[in-house]
Amino acid sequence: MRKLFLFLLLTLFISESYAVNGWFALSVPIPYISDIQFINSQTGFITGLYGKYAKTTDGGQTWTAFTIGDSTISLGSINFINENTGWMNGNQPNGFPIWPNRNYMYSTTNGGVNWTVRSQSDGDVSSCDIYMTGKDSLVVASLGFSDFGSVGGLSYSFNGGTLFNPAIVNTNGAQFYGLQFLNNITGYVVSCYDSDTGPYYNRIYKTTNSGANWNPIYKDSVQPPRLLGCFFVNSNKGYLWARNSKLAVTTNSGANWNFINTPIYSQINSMHFFDENTGYAGFTFNSQDTMGLKRTTDGGFTWITMTNSLLKGISRIIFVDNLTGWATGYSSNGVKLMKTVTGGLTSVNSIGNVVPDKFSLSQNYPNPFNPITKINYELPITNFVSLKVYDALGNEVQTLVNQKQNAGSYSVDFNAASLPSGIYFYKLVTEKFSETKKMILVK
C-alpha cells in the first residue's frame, strides 16, 4: 500500500501557521537514486548503482528500468536537453591503487533507450555534474577524491562531445560541483580545494556564454567550512550553502554575500527557490533535524519544518514549475522518492470568526468526487486534531491534519489524484470527540 501524506500550511484566523505534508511517495525500480531529472511534468529519469537507471513518462507513477554495462558501474549525473538527447556519466573500480576509478561518459539520441560510450578513462574523478546548454553543447563539472586532495575539472563541448575544452585551467587541484544554470547561457558552479591537513579554499564561478568562460563571483582564501552548493533565483539574487548549515545570500549578482543564521542544524544537500523569498531546503537527518525538508517564505531567514516528510534525509529537490516537483533521499520505510503537485502545500482554512458550540464533522462535498473534495469540521475549544483518510481495508492512506488547533470552523481539501477509485473513510479525532464518515472516489 502506498502511503500518502499531505503537507499543509495552516492559516488560522488568529494568524498562526503550521506545516503539514503536501508530498506523496512514489515507488521506483532501482535500489538507490544517484540523480534525477525531469524534462517536463511527465518525462523524467533517475540513475543509481549497479548500472541501473529508469525512465518515466507519467510523472513518476510508473517506471521502466534499464541496465547499462555491468553491476559494478555506479551511474551519476544525467541531463537531457529534450526528450531524445541526453548525457550521463558513470564510474567503476578498476583495481588501481592510485587512480581507482574508470570513468565513462554516455550519450543518447533516442530518449535513453540506448546509450553510446563517448569517453572512457582511468582517473581520479569520483563524480561529475552535467548540464546540456544546447543539442550539441554541454558543460561538465567533475569532483576528484577529497581523501587525496586530487584534481577535478570544468570543461565544455560545443560539438556534441567530440572535443572537450577546459573552461578553467586547474592549477591548484580544485574540485568542481554544484552546477546550476538559469538558462542555456547563464550558469554557476562551486569550486573548492581541500587537503587532509589544510584549509578549504572556496569559489563560485559564473558563465554568461554557455560555459566557455567563467568568472569568480565569490571567493575566499581561508574560509571554512567548505561550500557545498548554490542556487540562483535570477541573475541578481542567489544563495550558497556550506557545511555546518551555513547559508548566505546575495542580491547584487554575487558582489556581496551575507551569511544568515538559520534554524537548520544539519548539512544542507539541496535547495530550490520558486522566487526570491519562497523555497525549500533538503538536508541530512540528525537528532535535532528529524525531518529532511524545510520551507521558507522570507528568503531563508526563517524556516518551517515539514513535519510529516516521507524522507528523513533529502539529497535532491527539483521542480519543473511552481507546483510540480520531486525530492530524492532515504527513509526507514524504504521510500526513496516523493512528489508534490501543489508546490508542497495545500490549505486548511478557518471559516468565519464565530466559535462553534459543539464538535462536528460534515459530509465531504462533492461526493462522489474526482479527484478533489472538501471536508469541513468544527471545534468548540482548542484541541489537538487528527484528520486521516483510510481505504476500505482500514489502511491509512493520507494524513490531512495532525496539529493543535484553536476553536473554530475549518475546511480541508483532500486530493486523491494518486489513489484508485473506491470507497474511503475519513476520521476526525480530538481529545473529546471522534467521528468517521464514508466518501466515494470515482475516476
Claim to verify: residue 239 and residue 313 sit in the same structural domain: yes
Q: pLDDT tier at 14 (50, 70, 90 boundaries)?
A: very low
Residue 28 lies in a domain: yes
For residue 339, give the amino acid letter: K
Is 7 part of any domain?
Answer: no
Q: Which domain holds residue 182?
A: 23-342
Higher per-residue pLDDT: 108 or 295: 108
Residue at 4 is within a domain? no
Same domain, 324 and 359: no
Residue 308 lies in a domain: yes
* Locus of grid cell 586547474: 170
Tell me if 3 is assigned to some domain: no
Indicate which CATH number applies to the domain containing 31: 2.130.10.10
Shared domain for 316 and 377, answered yes or no, is no
Phi, psi of 146 (to 5 degrees): -65, -25
- Residue-wise pLDDT tens digits, 279-292: 999 888 665 555 67
Q: Which of 323, 342, 361 is the endpoint of a domain?
A: 342
| pLDDT tier, 171 (very low <50, low <70, confident <90, very high otherwise) | low
403/317 same-domain check: no
Which residues have C-beta within 8 Å of that of residue 337, sequence separation ≥ 6? 25, 26, 27, 28, 33, 36, 46, 60, 326, 327, 328
CB 232 within 8 A of CB 188: yes
User: Mind listing the pLDDT tens digit for each residue in 428-441?
Assistant: 999 989 999 999 99
Do the domain assignments include residue 264? yes
| Grid cell locating 115 | 546509450
- Same domain? For 211 and 72 the reply is yes
422 and 379 fall within a common domain: yes
Give tens-digit pLDDT for 215-268.
999 887 655 678 889 999 999 999 999 887 788 999 999 999 998 877 666 788
Residues 389 and 363 placed together within one structural domain of the fold: yes
14 in any annotated domain? no
Going by pLDDT thresholds of 50, 70 and 90, the confidence category of residue 5 is: very low
Asked if the model's pLDDT at residue 423 lies above 90, the reply is: yes
Q: Is residue 302 part of a domain?
A: yes
Residue corresponding to grid cell 468517521: 436
Counting beta carbons within 10 angstroms of the beta carbon of residue 39, is it exposed (0 to 12), middle (13 to 18) or buried (19 or more)? middle
Q: Is residue 159 domain-shared with residue 273, that is, in the same domain?
A: yes
Judgement on whether residues 427 and 331 belong to the same structural domain of the protein:
no
- Same domain for 236 and 364? no
Domain tally for the chain? 2
Cα–Cα distances (Å) from 138 to 146, 157, 292, 348, in that order, read: 25, 6, 32, 44
Point out the domain boundary residue: 342, 374, 407: 342
181 shares its domain with 146: yes
* Sheet with 337-340, edge to edge strand ranges: 24-26, 337-340, 325-330, 313-319
Pick from 321, 342, 363: which residue ends a domain? 342
Helix H, strand E, coil C: the string for the chain is CCCECCEEEEECCCCCEEEEECCEEECCCCCCCCEEEECCCCCEEEECCCCEEEEECCCCCCCEEEECCCCCCEEEEEEECCCCCEEEEEEEECCCCCCCEEEEEEEECCCCCCCEEEEEEEECEEEEEEEEEECCEEEEEEEECHHHCCCCEEEEECCCCCCCEECCCCCCCCEEEEEEECCCCCEEEEEEECCCCCCCEEEEEEECCCCCCCEEEEECCCCCCCEEEEEECCCCCEEEEEHHHEEEEECCCCCCCEEECCCCCCCEEEEEECCCCCEEEEECCCCCCCCCEEEECCCCCCCEECCCCCCCEEEEEEECCCCCEEEEEECCCCCCEEEECCCCCEEEEECCCCCCCCCEECCCECCCECCEEEEEEEECCCEEEEEEEEECCCCEEEEEEEEEECCEEEEEEEECCCCCCEEEEEEEECCCCEEEEEEEECC
Q: Above pLDDT 70, what percent of the chain?
A: 82
Mark whether 332 and 385 lie in a shared domain: no
Q: What's the rounded mean pLDDT across residues 55-81?
A: 92
Task: Say what the pTM is.
Answer: 0.74
Grade residue 16 by pLDDT with cuts at 50, 70 and 90: very low
**CATH code for position 414:** 2.60.40.1930
Cell of 421: 477509485
Distance of CA 384 to the CA centre of its chain: 31
pLDDT of res. 290: 53
